[in-house]
Amino acid sequence: MTPAERPLSPHLQIYKPQLTSVLSIVHRGTGLALSIGAVFIVAWLAAAAWSDAAFALAQEFWGSLIGQLFLLGWSFSFYFHLLNGIRHLAWDSGFGLDLKTTYATGWSVVVLSLLLAVATFAAGLALRGGA
Amino acid sequence: MSRDAVRHWRAERISALALIPLTLWFVVLILSHLGADRAQIQGWLGRPIPALLAAALVIVTFYHSALGVRVVIEDYVHAPARLRALLSLNVIASWLLALLALGAIATLVVAG
C-alpha cells in the first residue's frame, strides 16, 4: 500500500538559524559534552584512588596538546551550560521571556562563557607554572 | 505519563540548582591543586567535608546527566527496540559511573 500524500511538517533546515535556536541546540550539545567529560573525571578519580600507573597516564594525557584542547572545550561547555542553564531557570520562573531580553541574555551567555573559559584556562596555566 | 513528565521537569531543575555551587566549588578545587600527586589528592579530597561534597557532586551530576541524556535519546531515536536499549544503557552507565566514582572517593578517604 502506498502511503497517503499528507502534508509534512516543515523541516528544521528550511529555517534561518537564529540566536535563540542555535543556543538551544548548543545547550544540548554542551550538556552531552559534559556527560562525556564526566566519564573522564571518573576515570581520573579512579586512577587517583587505585593506580600509580593509571594516574601517571592520566596526568600525561591532561598535559598533552589533545588533553589541553579537551580541557579548553570542556571549560567552555561547562560555563555555557551553567550560564545558559541559569537563563533557562529564569525563564522557568517567568523572567526574561521578551524578545529583547532573550537576545541580550543570549549574547551575554556566549561572550561570558568564552571569557570565563579562556580566563580559567589561563589561570590553570599560571597556577601550574607557579607550582 | 504526564505526571512522570512533571517529575522529570522538576528533578532536572532541582538538580541543576544544586549543581551551580557544587560544580563551581569543584572547578576552584581542581584549579588550586593542579599538578598534585596521588598522595596530595588523598590529602585534600580524602578529608570528610571535601569528600562529602565530592560525593554529592557525583550523585547529582550523574542524576542530572541521566535525565538530560534520556531526553536526547527520546528525541532522536525512534525504533522501539533501539530506544529501549539506549534508555537502559543510559541508566546502567550512569549508575556504574556514579558508583565507581563514589568507590574511588571512599578509597581516598580511607587512604587519606
User: Where do the domains of chain B lie, and which CATH numbers do they carry?
Assistant: 2-111 (1.20.1300.10)
Interface TM-score (ipTM) > 0.90: yes
Sign of CA dihedral B58, B59, B60, B64: positive
- Range of weakest confidence among A104-118, B28-42, B49-63: B28-42
Q: Which residues contact B91 (CB under 8 A, 6 or more apart)?
A: B66
CB B57 within 8 A of CB B111: no
Task: Say how many C-beta atoms besides its own lie within 10 A of residue B106's C-beta.
Answer: 14
pLDDT given for residue A10 in this prediction: 72
Per-residue pLDDT tens over the stretch A23-34: 999 999 999 999
**Phi, psi of A104, rounded to the nearest 5 degrees:** -65, -50
Per-residue pLDDT tens over the stretch A23-76: 999 999 999 999 999 999 999 999 999 999 999 999 999 999 999 999 999 999
Q: Report yes or no: A32 at the B interface, CB cutoff 8 Å.
A: yes
Q: Which of B32, B74, B100, B110 to mutate to test the interface with A (most CBs of A within 10 A)?
A: B100
Q: What average pLDDT is seen over chain B? A: 95
> Which fold, A20-130?
3 helical TM bundles of succinate and fumarate reductases (1.20.1300)
Q: Break chain A into its structural domains and give their ranges.
A: 20-130
- Residue B110's Cβ-count burial label (10 Å; 0-12, 13-18, 19+) is exposed
At residue A14 the predicted structure's pLDDT band, cuts being 50, 70 and 90, is confident
Q: pTM value?
A: 0.91
Q: Report yes or no: B35 at the A interface, CB cutoff 8 Å.
A: yes
| Residues in chain A within 8 Å Cβ distance of B103 | 46, 49
Rounded distance between C-alpha atoms, residue A68 and residue A103, angstroms: 32
Q: Do B65 and A131 touch (CB under 8 A)?
A: no
